[in-house]
């Protein structure tokens, strides 16, 4: 049985003492301070540690999810192990701008009273803090930066679908289950079948009915209920590359985990705790920054009689998606990696039917209301 523990107050002086010793084992007094800025994410609290020589580290403290007072220590440790291994693999295999981890503790029983990581501080702005209001003159720069990262990551591949639970002495990686789904899986078909049977829509029918309104509730509720079975039916045909190797998915690739400078050039990609090797369709989903609800499952009033989007923001998103595919193709042509000529990230992004199903899976996980049945009826895989 997995145990949960309440979250005690973080021992900030203890954190400074720990950080000082990690930088200088002979130090007897802390030579660093906490800067006043505090970042708060879904389940992390982030502080900046500044040393007397102006070097800065990030202290990322694991906290209970928002609205909760406890966390499961076994789950936290499993997630931290997978994240550390993913970071290690990415730093070994790519030139991606990923912060170096200097130290970590996985238990709340230590000097800090919470699990944490100490890593390089990348000087820049987190996209979430900017609300991703990207000035038009910087949009292409930002798209190019995301595309280069996405392409670089496509070259990091593992034999199975699953997380990374350990690094062996010879440098190979042992894969493990994906939280809430299971695994590791030898094929994409196995992954899609397991996903369809285990992932549950997070909203009750009552809440879904209230969100949908009387005109759409019945159709939306039916679509949500039938979506897992529909995925299971087409599971063997959904992936164009059923067997490995499989690319490493960040798991939360978007503005919320990108560090940018004042010209929106990307400085770093952070937060790898959800990373796993996955099918190309999952890897080939658009970054969250560019995500749109697949038209077939969206509200019909968002489109005209010809199926064209009416809302200016929606039009801009679709335009940016096309620009992103072009940027990916350019990044692939300039990359030093040898890619499979039969399939690539740009092909995955351009395969609109499969790409939209991958997007729908992510939206389903997040409890997004929509007419999932219409999307599946149109897929005809």
pTM of the model: 0.91
- Token pair for residue 376? 């599946």
The answer on pLDDT for 131 being more than 80 is: no
The answer on pLDDT for 304 being more than 50 is: yes
pLDDT at 1: 35
CATH class of 126-379: alpha beta
At residue 15, what are phi and psi to the nearest 5 degrees? -65, -45
pLDDT at 317: 95
The crossing angle, in degrees rounded to 10, of helices 352-365 and 372-379 is 160
- Tell me the pLDDT tens digit for each residue of 184-213: 999 999 999 999 999 999 999 999 999 888
pLDDT at 3: 46
* Whole-angstrom distance, CA of residue 196 vs CA of residue 215: 28
How would you class 93 by CB atoms within 10 Å of its CB: exposed for 0-12, middle for 13-18, buried for 19 or more?
middle
pLDDT at 171: 77
The answer on pLDDT for 25 being more than 70 is: no
* Whole-angstrom distance, CA of residue 141 vs CA of residue 42: 28
- Count the alpha carbons within 13 Å of 70 in the hemisphere toward its beta carbon: 8
Radius of gyration of the chain (CA): 22
* Whole-angstrom distance, CA of residue 145 vs CA of residue 238: 29
The answer on pLDDT for 173 being more than 80 is: yes
Mean of pLDDT over the chain = 90
- Tell me the pLDDT tens digit for each residue of 242-272: 999 999 999 999 988 999 998 999 999 999 9
pLDDT at 30: 59
Count CB neighbours of 300 within 10 A: 12
- Token pair for residue 64? 């209970």
Count CB neighbours of 28 within 10 A: 9
More confident residue, 163 or 4: 163
pLDDT at 59: 97
* Whole-angstrom distance, CA of residue 50 vs CA of residue 16: 10
pLDDT at 202: 96
Please enumerate in sequence order all residues whose Cβ is within 8 A of that of 264, keeping only pairs 6 or more positions apart, or say none.
134, 135, 138, 139, 141, 142, 145
Domain ranges of the chain: 4-121, 126-379
Q: Which fold has domain 4-121?
A: Phosphorylase Kinase; domain 1 (3.30.200)
Please enumerate in sequence order all residues whose Cβ is within 8 A of that of 73, keeping only pairs 6 or more positions apart, or say none.
2, 3, 4, 5, 107, 108, 115
pLDDT at 258: 93
Q: Scan for tokens 């990415």, then name that residue.
A: 90
Q: What is the mean pLDDT of residues 338-359?
A: 86
The answer on pLDDT for 75 being more than 50 is: yes
pLDDT at 303: 96
């Amino acid at each position: 049985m997995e145990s949960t523990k309440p979250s005690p107050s973080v021992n900030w002086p203890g954190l400074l003492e720990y950080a000082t010793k990690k930088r200088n084992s002979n130090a007897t007094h802390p030579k660093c301070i906490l800067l006043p800025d505090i970042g708060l994410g879904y389940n992390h609290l982030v502080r900046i540690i500044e040393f007397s020589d102006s070097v800065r580290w990030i202290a990322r403290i694991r906290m209970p999810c928002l609205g909760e007072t406890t966390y499961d220590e076994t789950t936290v440790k499993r997630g931290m192990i997978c994240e550390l291994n993913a970071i290690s693999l990415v730093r070994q295999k790519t030139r991606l701008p990923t912060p170096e981890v200097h130290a970590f503790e996985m238990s709340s029983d230590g000097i800090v009273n919470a699990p944490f990581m100490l890593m390089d501080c990348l000087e820049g702005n987190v996209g979430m803090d900017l609300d991703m209001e990207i000035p038009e003159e910087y949009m292409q720069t930002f798209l190019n930066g995301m595309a280069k990262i996405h392409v670089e990551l496509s070259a990091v591949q593992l034999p199975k679908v699953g997380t990374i639970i350990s690094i062996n002495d010879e440098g190979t990686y042992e894969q493990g289950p994906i939280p809430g789904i299971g695994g590791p899986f030898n094929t994409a078909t196995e992954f899609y079948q397991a996903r369809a049977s285990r992932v549950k829509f997070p909203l009750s029918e009552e809440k879904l009915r209230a969100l949908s309104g009387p005109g759409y509730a019945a159709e939306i509720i039916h679509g949500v209920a039938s979506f897992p079975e529909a995925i299971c039916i087409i599971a063997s045909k959904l992936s164009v590359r059923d067997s490995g190797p499989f690319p490493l998915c960040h798991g939360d690739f978007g503005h919320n985990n990108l560090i940018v400078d004042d010209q929106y050039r990307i400085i770093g990609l952070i937060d790898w705790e959800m990373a796993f090797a996955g099918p190309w369709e999952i890897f080939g989903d658009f970054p969250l920054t560019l995500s749109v609800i697949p038209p077939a499952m969206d509200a019909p009033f968002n489109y005209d009689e010809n199926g064209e989007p009416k809302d200016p923001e929606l039009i801009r998103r679709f335009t940016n998606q096309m620009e992103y595919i072009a940027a990916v193709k350019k990044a692939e042509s300039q990359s030093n990696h040898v890619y499979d000529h039969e399939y690539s990230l740009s092909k995955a992004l351009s395969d609109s039917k499969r790409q939209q199903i991958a997007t729908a899976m992510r939206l389903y996980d997040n409890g997004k209301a929509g007419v999932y049945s219409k999307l599946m009826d149109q897929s005809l895989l």
